[in-house]
Amino acid sequence: MSEPLFDRVALIGIGLIGSSIALNVKAHGLARHVAITTRRAETLATAERLGLGDSYHLEVTDAVREADLVILCVPVGICGAITREIAPYLKAGAIISDVGSVKGAVIEQMRPHLPETVAFVPAHPLAGTEQSGPQAGFVALFQKRWCILTPLEETDPPAVERLKVFWEACGSAVEIMTAEHHDLVLAIVSHVPHLIAYNIVGTAADLETVTQSEVVKFSASGFRDFTRIAASDPTMWRDVFLTNRDAVLEMLARFSEDLASLQRAIRWGDGDTLFDLFTRTRAIRRNVIEAGQDTAKPNFGREAGNGSSDESSA
Amino acid sequence: MSEPLFDRVALIGIGLIGSSIALNVKAHGLARHVAITTRRAETLATAERLGLGDSYHLEVTDAVREADLVILCVPVGICGAITREIAPYLKAGAIISDVGSVKGAVIEQMRPHLPETVAFVPAHPLAGTEQSGPQAGFVALFQKRWCILTPLEETDPPAVERLKVFWEACGSAVEIMTAEHHDLVLAIVSHVPHLIAYNIVGTAADLETVTQSEVVKFSASGFRDFTRIAASDPTMWRDVFLTNRDAVLEMLARFSEDLASLQRAIRWGDGDTLFDLFTRTRAIRRNVIEAGQDTAKPNFGREAGNGSSDESSA
């Protein structure tokens, strides 16, 4: 049996991502010891019951002692406070990483607290589901997904390489880019799509002319797809929008501009503008499927009954 | 063997919905004869090769002769022209129906041309996928889906009942409402969701700071869900927006208002507003699943690799 990549991995936070990392460390023998810490005793007990780690700690400082890889798996908004707390207890030579969906703000919050003796490698596995909590994790979560690393100027290259090997062992393909570019890319492929999904679900719930039970009843006509995304973790997503503000507002402004132009086309009966856009977007779907980023099966391959129908005739 | 519901069913248009109806008529023995007509010779040849009907006609007037059920399965925009053409050839006592996603405009277009000797029962099966054409149809498409009938004041009740039995035989649950209410409901559960999906995909394709290939590459972070909806048939959807204009513009105005308020919350760092909405929308997802309108499996139960990941950590 080959040497594990790390002696001791500390996971701070044990939600969907933290628990899926824990399962991967076990499944692929990536560490001798997995230390798990989370603030809520109940969540920690669930993690222990599920056997996700080797030791369980309510005190975050206990978990990170002697760890040679520490990963913060918590909402972006509390990364700074946690880093300040653990900084004095970090082992020299340790790698500190995270899984946050925003990288600029995470770096801004964490960097000032970290001693020079550790290597900070911000990371973002582009993986998840609409479910949350330690029981939501599964080993295949990162399989064939991207993990983006955004190392700093001062980050030690061998530490970046080691974390890359770690994520590849979890099944991911690793991409390296600047934090600034990451935040722009994610704003358009993830943050704004989530915002408009949350928004349409809210709008639909607040109508007087159509009841909420009608909205639910007839949701398979397109709406249900948005409810899935709008079921994502509220704390995590609040923090994403608060911390990637500038990129989100910029992309949102463009979205609204484009939507106003579609609205105008509808009002004035300009069918060509609509038809041209709808033809162009269809081609992009083909690219997504060809790039292996989604299934080609109709309705995402949902099972019949739940899945064999939806909106194209709706 | 029980008597078929109809002697001769004529299907005008043989795309996803028309072909799925044809397969259901065969599978459940709902008619002695299925006559298929479509304008493009190539599409008609495909339908014949697939064995979808009993006779195939390039002339729509040939198909409807002697039919006791005629269903228009064409984009909403051409229902009027077709009705004018077939009206003189309709058999007395025949039921005329359609499958259009907008009911007010369909009625406005078709009603003036129809003789008093036929029963007009507008219908809308809330079923479909993002795929189009006669080869996209399948027998389970209508299984456990809603079919909404919007009979007119003058529509003969037994004709409504007969069409209800027809759709129930195809596996659907039938709901009856006014055309006006239908158009409001569909605007929010289907039309506006489609419009914003088309729009975000268009916005993402037009950026300078993020390339289109990056958008495709990292699309599993949420964006890909929108590309599926935005791959729906362009002609059909152009017609939906042009013909359900007022309801779409009304719902769109509310969507934009709500979005502006979220935008303001992001700009001013009002996390509570975001958190409250995101918690409320999560509850609506639970209602959708409890109502049997979507699968509870993470990521719609997409297969791993294509499906085991997406946006909740993105």
Query: What pLDDT is attached to residue B221?
Result: 85
Which residue among A127, A193, A231 sits closest to B282, beta carbon to beta carbon? Answer: A231
Cα–Cα dist A300/B226, whole Å: 12
CA of B13: how far to CAs of A86, A137, B10, B63, B134, in Å?
A: 67, 47, 9, 11, 9
What is the DSSP code string of A23-87? HHHHHHT-EEEEEEE-S-HHHHHHHHHTT--SEEESSHHHHHTT-SEEEE-S-GGGHHHHHHHHG
What is the SS3 assignment for B9?
A: strand
Q: Is the pLDDT of residue B264 over 70?
A: yes
B308·A140 Cβ contact <8 A: yes
How many interface pairs between A and B have CB atoms less than 8 angstroms apart? 477
User: Which residues from chain A sit within 8 angstroms of residue B129, using beta carbons?
Assistant: 298-299, 308-310, 312
- How far apart (Å, rounded) are the C-alpha atoms in residues B78 and B238? 12
Question: Which of B19, B284, B287 is best to mutate for the A interface (most A CBs within 10 A)?
Answer: B284
Q: Which residues of chain A make contact with B191, given a CB cutoff of 8 A? A: 222
pLDDT value, residue A277: 96
- List of chain B residues whose C-beta atoms are within 8 Å of the C-beta of residue A295: 302-303, 306-307
Tell me whether residues A194 and B222 touch, CB distance under 8 A. Answer: yes
In the predicted model, is pLDDT for residue B96 greater than 90?
Answer: yes
Q: DSSP strand E in B24-121: where?
A: 31-37, 55-57, 69-72, 95-98, 119-121
Place of tokens 């996390």: B271
Distances (CA, A) of B254 to B182, B187, B192, B199, B241: 18, 12, 11, 16, 16
Residues whose CB is less than 8 angstroms from the CB of residue A125 and which lie 6 or more positions away in sequence, other chains included: A17, A99, A142, A145, A146, A147, A167, A170, A172, B313
**C-alpha distances in angstroms, B194 versus A130, A295, B186?**
21, 19, 11
Distance (Å) from the alpha carbon of A282 to chain B's nearest alpha carbon: 4
pLDDT of B307 strictly over 70: no
Q: Report residue A38 as tokens.
A: 């989370």
Of B125, B136, B189, which has the smallest distance from its Cβ to A219's Cβ?
A: B189
In single-letter form, the type of residue at position A198 comes to: Y
Contact A223, A163 (CB under 8 A): no
Contacts of A203 in chain B (CB under 8 A): 188, 251, 254-255, 258
d(CA A287, CA A273): 22
Beta bridge partners of B147: B125, B174
> Between chains, do B223 and A188 touch, taking CB under 8 Å as contact?
yes
Has residue A26 got a pLDDT over 90? yes
B255 to A199: CB separation less than 8 angstroms, yes or no: yes
Which residues in B lie closer than 8 A to residue A220 (C-beta atoms)?
Answer: 126-127, 145-146, 293-294
Q: At a CB cut-off of 8 Å and minimum separation 6, what does B261 contact?
A: B273
Measured between beta carbons, which residues in chain B are less than 8 angstroms from residue A271? 238-239, 242
What is the sign, positive or negative, of the torsion defined by CA atoms of B114, B116, B119, B122?
A: positive
User: In this structure, what are the phi and psi dihedrals at residue A8, rounded to the nearest 5 degrees?
Assistant: -135, 125
Q: Which residues have C-beta within 8 Å of that of residue B45, sequence separation ≥ 6?
A: none
pLDDT at B3: 87
Question: Tokens in use for B59?
Answer: 């002339």
Domains and CATH numbers, chain B: 6-177 (3.40.50.720), 181-301 (1.10.3660.10)
**How is residue B244 written in tokens?**
């359900």
Q: For chain A, give the number of residues.
A: 314
pLDDT of A303: 62
**Res B26 pLDDT > 90:** yes
- Reduced to 3 states (helix: H, G, I; strand: E, B; else coil), residue B55 is strand
pLDDT at A312: 38
Residue appearing with tokens 């009966």: A269
Using an 8 Å Cβ cutoff, are A171 and A144 in contact?
Answer: yes
What does the pLDDT average to over A230-254?
95
Q: What is the pLDDT of residue A128?
A: 86
C-beta separation of B11 from B73 below 8 A: yes
Tell me which residue in A130, A220, A254 faces B145 most closely, judged by beta carbons.
Answer: A220
Handedness of CA A231, A233, A235, A237 (dihedral sign): negative
Candidates B11, B189, B190, B241: best to mutate against A (most CBs of A within 10 A) is B189
Confidence label for B208 from pLDDT (cuts 50, 70 and 90): confident
Q: How confident is the model at residue A309 (pLDDT cuts 50, 70, 90)?
A: very low
Q: What would the DSSP string read from start to end of B156-220?
A: -HHHHHHHHHHHHHTTPEEEE--HHHHHHHHIIIIIHHHHHHHHHHHHHHT-SSS-HHHHHHTGG
Distance from CA of B53 to the nearest CA of A (A): 21
Q: Could you identify the residue written with the tokens 């589901």?
A: A129
Listed range (A4-8, A296-300, A302-306, B226-230) with the worst mean pLDDT: A302-306
B69-102 as b/e, with b when 16 or more CB fall inside 10 Å? bbbbbbbbbbbbebbeebbebbbeebbbbbbbbb
CB contacts of B99 in chain A (<8 Å) are 313
Please give the pLDDT value at position A305. Answer: 47
Tokens of residue B96, six digits: 């005329």
Distance CA(B237)–CA(B132), nearest Å, equals 12
Cβ distance of B205 and A284 shorter than 8 Å:
yes
Q: In Å, how far is B100's CA from the nearest CA of chain A?
A: 7
- Cα separation values, B19 from A107, A305, B53, Å: 55, 18, 9
Average pLDDT over residues A16-39: 98
Lowest mean pLDDT among A164-168, B69-73, B209-213, B237-241: B209-213
B12: its two tokens: 């005008």
Whether the Cβ atoms of residue B63 and residue B36 lie closer than 8 Å to each other: yes
pLDDT for res B241:
97
Question: Mind listing the pLDDT tens digit for each residue in B46-78?
Answer: 999 999 999 999 999 999 999 999 999 999 999
Q: CA-CA distance, B180 to B247, in Å (whole number)?
A: 9
Q: What tokens appear for A293 in the block?
A: 């980023």
Give the Cα separation of B56 and A73 in Å (integer): 61
Average pLDDT over residues B294-313: 61
- Closest residue of A to B247, CA-based? A209
- Residue A188 is classified by DSSP as I
Work out the pLDDT band at B16, boundaries 50, 70, 90.
Answer: very high
Q: Report the pLDDT averaged over residues B87-96.
A: 98
Whole-number Å distance between alpha carbons of A52 and B284: 31
